[in-house]
Amino acid sequence: MSRPRTNSALPLGALAAGFGLSLMGLPVLAQTTDGAPKQADTALPEVTVKGTVDRTPPSKNSYQATTTTIGKGKQELRDIPQSVTVVTQKLMQDRSLTDIKDVLHTTAGVTFQAGETGEEDVRLRGFSLSQSGDIYIDGLRDPSLYERDTFNNDRIEVLRGSASMLFGRGSTGGVVNQVNKQPYLMTQHEVETTVGTGKMFRLTGDFNIQTSDTSALRINALVHEADNKGASVSKRGIAPTYRWGIGTADEFTASLYHLQYDNNPTYNHPWFLVNGKIVPSLQADHFYGLDSDHNKGNVTYGTLSHLHKFSSGGELKTTLRQGYYKRDLLASTIRFVPASNTVPATTPDNLNDSTVLQRNGSKGRMAATRGTLLQSDYNQTFKLGSMTDTLITGADLSWDKAARANNFANTATRPDTTVGTPDNGAWVPDLRGAVPYNHYTARNLGLYVQNTLAITPAFKLIAGLRNDQFSASYHTTTGASFARDDSLWSERLGVLFQPSESTSFHASYGTSFNVSGDTYQFAVQGPASKDANTAPEKSRNFEIGSKLNLLDQRLSLNTSLFYSEKYNERNTDPDSASAQQLLSGKRHAAGLDLDIAGKITKDWEAYLSYTWIPEAKIDKSNVPATTCNANTGVCSANNAQQQGDRPGLTPKHSASLWSTYQLNPQWRFGAGLNHRGSQNPEGNRAAKAADFTTADLMVEYTIDWRMSLRLNINNVTDELYADGLYRGFYTPGAARSAQLTLKTTF
């Protein structure tokens, strides 16, 4: 069969980048599963499995990932001079990870600040990882806060350490990149139906249709319902993607994503503080909020992408995305009745079903965000005598407009409840009235270039530079307006030593910055004028490590030693606290990352993510020294962390282990552990949560190639622990749960 040919087209990317290019016609090549061209089809002996091409997405078949798109364009993981953890689709399915927070629980070094439910401040290596600033989809910023589900994810990549050279503002601790599923050249469908505890019902469909020799359509859909004894979850999602020109000189992708949700959130549980240790108080699977509480919203974004492959071997990819995000949170704050002359303090000893819980506090937020992103990346490899030079360069533009009411509580009277009457059906009217929106607009232009010079096949030097032109304005409900403009540079330097195809060693240095307006409001820590007067924070990361492929390339073993430092952290100005902040603070974290993923034998597969941070410290701070009562947590002035403290939400040890074994063609068994060491909330040096370890189990029975059953039991010992921490409360870790999933392939 002869190869068809296509006429060259003027690439969309060339127009966006301002290039005038005359393109030659290129042959259309067939495609392997990852989109790379392959040789023309040849006749294969019938029923000869070894001669066929595996045309299913690789992440459906393995815990091991060898390539990534997190470093701008598709690259080998071994060529990234930083630590990267990849959670593949197979691992997400085997562990029943249905949202991004579940995935991050299986990634070591990640912790959670409690509050606002889906709006938790995630920490990586002890540094803030904003859900509105450091979460990406296919390399483009995912600019708002919402309940992210994994139904359309092929894999999730976590890049650790400073990464502003690649992504711009934020990314001090690292970034999380959600890689969406892409159509591939095969007609195949997969439907998963899950029922579980908490009256859970989840239905996902993944339908891939090959529409021609060079095009395919893929549709992913979701229905998720759960009661969870009052903490209900209701989600609907649809994500169609059409890809054409696959394997040709010009490949196009058009996709749409829509997710809507209406959940009943658990905002917080009060803790007991005994000798400075946080003791969880209430059962994790009990909901004490109101039935009128809600966390609902929707997200819709469309994406157009064009990849042009030049005859010289270079590639230019341009992506345009427009998204709209809306969110409405209304939650109850749960407290014990304050001690008085007639009411004794609630303690672990006198807690019982009659203990009264107050719900008179209300937490409310409203947000509507529009985001437009345009990104164009070019990569090319050149021969320079005996050396090889790989150039990656590009530009990205973003426009964000947000309307937010971050303190929009309900004034309705909220009845008390008792420990023995969770989910008591109480409902109060929403009396909030018109939304007092503050308005925020941000614009950013980023230009970057990175060179990888292979001096010898084994020795490579990496140098990258990026400039961001950031502009933001903020308009309050009182009519006040503030604005800020910043021009910032980010660098990356690295060395790679790759003596063989299976070994790679790296050393790297990278920088990051956080602008005052990077969370859609200037008034993050006080008056908007104060934040608008404050220059960006800056950070840097030093790392040495290795990436090894062992056991005939079946198993990846990646390690790194890191030193991450924020060296001009925002601090309150003691002389002019209301007018400005000082960039006088400093903190650091140093430790080890370890990742293992792949097959130990053909039947034994494993995944391990481990982070050890033996050294973490607030080196400089303007917070005055205070003394705190170890039993009550009451401090003489404030209980904020101060110079010399270990930063909050930075445990020394955190790990996630998962392993499966294929006993025979029908039966496969899996087990895993999640561990997090002791830690204190940020801003409360008087309290520390104990370490915890949870265990998960899985058993899978394959009926035939079309159908299988999988049973997951998570937190099998029903461990009660504080998962997210805030200054005066915690969010509980998930209680024991079970899910039975029927997977059908056709």
Q: What is the pLDDT of residue 45?
A: 46
Structure token pair of residue 190: 């997969």
Structure token pair of residue 499: 């003596």
Q: What is the pLDDT of residue 476?
A: 84
Confidence of residue 669 (pLDDT cuts 50, 70, 90): very high
Q: Containing H/E element for 274?
A: strand 269-274
Distances (CA, A) of 62 to 34, 279, 594, 696: 14, 39, 19, 19
Structure token pair of residue 658: 């998962």
- Residue 686's Cβ-count burial label (10 Å; 0-12, 13-18, 19+) is buried
Question: Looking at domain 58-745, does it have CATH number 1.10.10.10?
Answer: no
Structure token pair of residue 483: 């604005």
Confidence of residue 26 (pLDDT cuts 50, 70, 90): very low
Confidence of residue 702 (pLDDT cuts 50, 70, 90): very high
Long-range CB contacts for residues 714-717, cutoff 8 Å, separation at least 24 = 714/96, 714/738, 714/739
Confidence of residue 73 (pLDDT cuts 50, 70, 90): confident
DSSP state of 679: B
Q: What is the pLDDT of residue 12?
A: 38
Q: For the chain, what's the residue count? A: 746
- Looking only at Cα atoms, what is the longest distance across the chain? 91
Residue 517, pLDDT > 70, answer no
Report the first-to-last Cα separation within the chain, whole angstroms.
28
Structure token pair of residue 245: 């020109």
Looking at 551-580, which runs of residues are DSSP E strands?
Answer: 555-572
Q: What is the pLDDT of residue 682?
A: 85
CB atoms near residue 652 (< 10 Å): 17
Q: What is the pLDDT of residue 526?
A: 52
For 117, the 3-state DSSP assignment is helix
Confidence of residue 27 (pLDDT cuts 50, 70, 90): very low
The whole-angstrom separation of Cα 350 and Cα 343 is 12
Distances (CA, A) of 202 to 193, 225, 260, 532, 565: 6, 6, 15, 45, 42
Q: Please tell me which residue, 721 or 638, carries the higher pLDDT value.
A: 721
The whole-angstrom separation of Cα 17 and Cα 166 is 18
pLDDT (mean) for 711-730 = 95
Q: Provide the β-strand partners of residue 446.
A: 396, 468
**Closest Cα to residue 111, out of 656, 519, 705, 745?**
656
DSSP state of 635: B
- How wide is the angle at C-alpha 732 spanned by C-alphas 731 and 737, nearest 5°? 140
- Per-residue pLDDT of 170-200, as tens digits, reads 878 899 999 999 999 999 999 999 999 999 9
Kindly state the percentage of the chain with pLDDT values over 90.
72
List b or e across 18-29, with b for residues whose CB sees 16 or more CB atoms inside 10 angstroms.
Answer: eeeeebeebebb
The whole-angstrom separation of Cα 706 and Cα 745 is 5
Residues of the chain by 3-state class (helix, strand, coil), percent to 5? 5, 55, 40
- How wide is the angle at C-alpha 690 spanned by C-alphas 685 and 694, nearest 5°? 145
Confidence of residue 629 (pLDDT cuts 50, 70, 90): low
- 0.85 exceeded by the pTM? yes
Mean pLDDT of the chain: 88
DSSP state of 441: E
CB atoms near residue 422 (< 10 Å): 18
Q: Please tell me which residue, 6 or 447, carries the higher pLDDT value.
A: 447
Structure token pair of residue 217: 């359509």
Confidence of residue 407 (pLDDT cuts 50, 70, 90): confident
The whole-angstrom separation of Cα 360 and Cα 380 is 61
Q: What is the pLDDT of residue 198?
A: 97
**Closest Cα to residue 74, out of 39, 37, 27?**
37
**Closest Cα to residue 568, out of 526, 596, 537, 544?**
537
The whole-angstrom separation of Cα 91 and Cα 94 is 5
Residue 634, pLDDT > 70, answer no
Question: Taking the alpha carbons of 41, 42, 47, 53 in that order, is the dihedral positive or negative?
Answer: negative
The whole-angstrom separation of Cα 184 and Cα 29 is 14
Distances (CA, A) of 718 to 94, 244, 529, 679, 735: 20, 48, 48, 21, 6
Q: Provide the β-strand partners of residue 724.
A: 112, 731
* Spatial contact of 517 and 483, defined as CB atoms under 8 Å apart: no
* Spatial contact of 688 and 679, defined as CB atoms under 8 Å apart: yes
Of 71-80, 92-101, 387-396, 662-671, the one with minimum mean pLDDT is 71-80
Q: Report strand pairing: 174-180 vs 729-732.
A: unpaired
Residue 630, pLDDT > 70, answer no
**Closest Cα to residue 509, out of 83, 81, 171, 134?**
81
Q: What is the pLDDT of residue 171?
A: 75
Distances (CA, A) of 742 to 57, 155, 700: 20, 21, 10
Of 168-172, 271-275, 291-295, 579-583, the one with minimum mean pLDDT is 579-583
Q: What is the pLDDT of residue 478?
A: 84
The whole-angstrom separation of Cα 231 and Cα 244 is 43
Q: What is the pLDDT of residue 623?
A: 73
The whole-angstrom separation of Cα 287 and Cα 267 is 10
The whole-angstrom separation of Cα 660 and Cα 712 is 12
**Closest Cα to residue 563, out of 493, 611, 615, 513?**
615
The whole-angstrom separation of Cα 109 and Cα 613 is 8
Q: What is the pLDDT of residue 6?
A: 40
- Distance, CA of 128 to chain centre: 12
What are the residue boundaries of the structural domains of the chain, listed by start?
58-745
Question: Taking the alpha carbons of 31, 36, 42, 48 in that order, is the dihedral positive or negative?
Answer: negative
- Per-residue pLDDT of 319-378, as tens digits, reads 999 999 999 999 999 999 999 888 899 999 999 999 999 998 899 999 999 999 999 999
- For residue 596, which amino acid is it? I
Q: What is the pLDDT of residue 1?
A: 39
CB atoms near residue 503 (< 10 Å): 15
Q: What is the pLDDT of residue 421?
A: 96
Q: What is the pLDDT of residue 525?
A: 47
Q: What is the pLDDT of residue 524?
A: 46
Residue 143, pLDDT > 70, answer yes
Q: Please tell me which residue, 23 or 45, carries the higher pLDDT value.
A: 45
Residue 35, pLDDT > 70, answer no
Residue 36, pLDDT > 80, answer no
Residue 439, pLDDT > 70, answer yes
Q: What is the pLDDT of residue 120?
A: 61
Residue 169, pLDDT > 50, answer yes
Q: What is the pLDDT of residue 37?
A: 42
The whole-angstrom separation of Cα 509 and Cα 491 is 8
Q: Please tell me which residue, 191 or 127, carries the higher pLDDT value.
A: 191
CB atoms near residue 489 (< 10 Å): 12
Confidence of residue 553 (pLDDT cuts 50, 70, 90): very high
Q: Which residues contact 121 (CB under 8 A, 6 or more apart)?
A: 112, 113, 115, 128, 129, 130, 131
